[in-house]
Chains A and B, each alone.
Chain A
């Protein structure tokens, strides 16, 4: 009997589970007294309540803006519509810290709105900290995302259905009921869950715009327990609760929503018969105007970074750029390798070994990674590294590792379907010729896989490049990324410099995301 090596995918799955478990055990067993859950009870309730309320409000407002905008865009064509769609698409990779800057620039103490009101003779004051700032930032990031996803869905209504609607003389209400509503009903629950999850654990935005301990969410509470109090026991408790909530949400989403949220908008070739209705013309004009009024200033505030772009380019910025690039590249490579291993294990289980339950576990694992609180994992792994050796290099290991893990689900969504396609097309031929293992990957899978893999790589890099997450722990004189630099400038109220840094991050992320989109659609 020969010893059979385990599949790389199962090794990866065990390694990931081991890392997470190891991190949690390190946290829980750290000396210094573990507090009971009871002792942090009232504080915990406050944080939980705020997390849920702000995430719910953010989700509802994002859906309202996004769905209204999608319907208006579906009914209307106008010059510049393609540019609008491109802007909507770019907020998908808009780093949260850049959105924070935009909110400051437009709605902040000395922002455009305050200046405009002052010109009109108004001399009151308002604060964006707390709900207003958080909701504006979340809706700015997620409303356009909803609009794009919904518009993609609406555009997939077959042309025949539009012709039938015309032939039957459907009223605008009947069109909504039979053509738009089924799409909304199918897409919205999944999108809503996804946005709720993102807002629930939205670290950078709540950290910068929360404005005090009473406006904190779990992720920020974990960060503060680490950075300020070094209370590992509390970190462990908070992280466990966060993990439980996010895992349940993720599992629910998996069950309710399997369509990957990557798509491209094809212009519907059939004109909608309801486009001529007067009431809808008015409604769409109002919706488009309000959306523009909300989205345009925020977007434009980032573009003003062009003005002082040349002034901010210095050794610090270049160093931060190189650091960000290195971390993003390492994270993207890691994410792609892990995704490839997991996806190929899932495929083997599903098709060759016919055990769809285990395959479903592999499919769920990447998304479950998003439920693990990054700060708690980082802290746990930091403690492990400290026990084993030199902790001064921990940041260099943990930044790419945590960012890479966070990007696995996105890479997985590109890789997994194409691996299945390759198996369906050539699996039997390969099996009959005895092509397995490495040669199967290079001969059979690679031609189908190289473009989606490159697309997943570019997207993983874009996400990691703009991430303001655990760099908040490690950032300092020695380790500075571009998002961290932006955060520092924001803290010092140097908005002009922040604008330029934000623009650099956005341009690079959008460039990568665009490359990703081109790669994933070419050759389809």
Chain B
């Protein structure tokens, strides 16, 4: 269970105060207008932003004192996830060992993980020769291979076309169902995740305005604001 309780962050022009809990094993979709604080929420969980007050725990463990590398979280960004000078397999291997010195077993694991995201035979390919969707698959494979139980996806498929985006979301859903992972995914097209997400959080002005089942959120009084947020981005 991920529990965020009154985590407060302030900037000269923006204040965020998050409270949110996500049961272990759930996929929680985070929606809301751009500039509303969706990405900051994920960055805070990953450890790139430090709240001034509040608590942040995962399965009872306090995350706030931990450096990003020590947190049980892996993150995928919208873009620039891969190092261009490393092959797909090496990029995935970074999730296991930043030194890239892998045992034979670990190498096999990397290959299997690439297979499971639908990239058989892509091991030696460089990111520059891959499509946007393929690059995000590699990033996803790296997040999963790290074995970290909390997967943070920050608008991971927003630069892909709608059909491909939907395929990728179904892939995420399939992959997370046979693993002990909790997933938080920000997304600006809520209808793409409505049937796969267990939870949906509407974030605006640095706050979690509403949290519930996707169908409930999408049919609530927030519907016009959600529609506005989608058409805005």
The interface of chain A, by Cβ under 8 A from chain B, is 158-161, 163-164, 166-171, 174, 178-179, 182, 185
Would you give the shortest CB distance from A203 to chain B, in whole angstroms? 39
Q: Which chain B positions have C-beta within 8 A of A182?
A: 83-85
B48 interface residue (CB < 8 Å to A): yes
The residue in chain B whose Cβ has the minimal distance to the Cβ of A166 is B68
A166 in contact with B47 given A158-B79, A174-B98 (CB within 8 Å): yes
A171 to B69, CA, bound (A): 11
In contact, A163 and B77 (Cβ under 8 angstroms):
yes
Given contacts A158-B80, A169-B68, A170-B98, 16 further A-B contacts (CB under 8 A): A159-B80, A160-B79, A161-B83, A163-B43, A164-B75, A167-B74, A168-B69, A168-B95, A168-B98, A171-B99, A178-B83, A178-B85, A178-B86, A178-B94, A179-B83, A185-B85
Interface contact B85-A171, CB-CB below 8 Å = no
Tell me how far the C-beta of B154 lies from the nearest C-beta in chain A, rounded to whole angstroms: 9
The closest CB in chain A to the CB of B74 belongs to A167
Least CB distance from B186 to A in Å reads 14
Q: Does B30 contact A (CB under 8 A)?
A: no
* B46 lies within 8 A of chain A by Cβ: yes
Q: List residues of chain B with CB within 8 A of the CB of A179.
A: 83
Interface string of B68-108 (1 = CB under 8 A from A): 11110111010111011110000000110011000000000
In the complex, the chain A residue whose C-beta lies closest to that of B84 is: A182
Known interface pairs A174-B99, A178-B86; A167-B80 also in contact (CB < 8 Å): no
13 A-B pairs in the complex with CB atoms less than 8 angstroms apart: A159-B80, A161-B83, A163-B68, A163-B75, A164-B81, A164-B94, A167-B46, A167-B69, A167-B71, A168-B98, A169-B69, A178-B94, A182-B84
Query: Would you call B67 an interface residue if the criterion is a C-beta within 8 Å of the partner chain's C-beta atoms?
Result: yes
For A167, give the chain B residue with the smallest CB separation: B68
Greatest chain B CB density within 10 A among A159, A164, A171 is at A164
How many inter-chain residue pairs (CB < 8 Å) link A and B?
A: 54
* Interface, chain B (partner A; CB < 8 A): 43, 46-48, 67-71, 73-75, 77, 79-81, 83-86, 94-95, 98-99
Q: Roughly how many angstroms separate A158 CA and B80 CA in the complex, as a whole number?
A: 7
Which B residue sits closest to A159, measured CB to CB?
A: B80
Please tell me which one of the listed residues B75, B84, B85 contacts residue A167 in the complex, with CB atoms under 8 A apart.
B75
Query: Inside 8 A of A164's CB, which chain B residues have their CB?
Result: 75, 81, 94
A174 to B74, CA, bound (A): 18
Residues of B within 8 A of A169 (CB): 67-70, 98
**Using Cβ atoms and an 8 Å threshold, which residues of chain A touch B86?**
178
Of the residues A158, A171, A185, contact of B98 by C-beta under 8 Å: A171
Query: CA–CA, A178 to B97, complex, Å?
Result: 13
Q: Which residue of B lies closest to A271 (CB)?
A: B48
A522 to B213, CA, bound (A): 48
> Chain A nearest CB: distance from B159 CB in Å?
13
Give CA–CA (A161, B94) in the complex, Å: 12
How long is the Cα–Cα vector from A137 to B172 in the complex, in angstroms? 59
When chains A and B are docked, how far (Å) is the Cα of A169 from the Cα of B71? 10
Residue from A158, A163, A164, A167 whose CB has the most chain B CB atoms within 10 Å: A167
A168 CB to nearest B CB, Å: 5
Q: Which 3 A-B pairs have the closest CB atoms?
A: A169-B69, A158-B80, A160-B80
Closest to A164 in B: B81
Q: A407: shortest Cβ distance to chain B, in Å?
A: 35
A166-B81 contact in complex given A174-B99, A178-B86, C-beta closer than 8 Å? no
Complex-state Cα separation, A522 to B86, whole angstroms = 36
- Most chain B CB atoms below 10 A, which of A158, A166, A168: A168
> For A174, what are the chain B residues with a Cβ–Cβ distance below 8 Å?
98-99
Say yes or no: A166-B69 contact (C-beta < 8 A), given A158-B79, A171-B98.
yes
B79: chain A residues at CB < 8 Å are 158, 160
Most buried by A among B46, B47, B83: B83
B99 proximity list for chain A (CB < 8 A): 171, 174
Say whether A168 contacts B94, CB under 8 Å.
yes
Q: Which residues of A contact B80 (CB under 8 A)?
A: 158-161
- In angstroms, Cα B127 to Cα A182, docked, is 14
Q: In the complex, A93 Cα to B184 Cα: how many Å?
A: 51
Minimum C-beta distance from B93 to chain A (A): 11
Cα A158 to Cα B79 with chains together (Å): 9
Q: Closest Cβ of chain A: how far from B79's Cβ, in Å? A: 7
Cα distance A171–B101 when bound, in Å?
A: 14
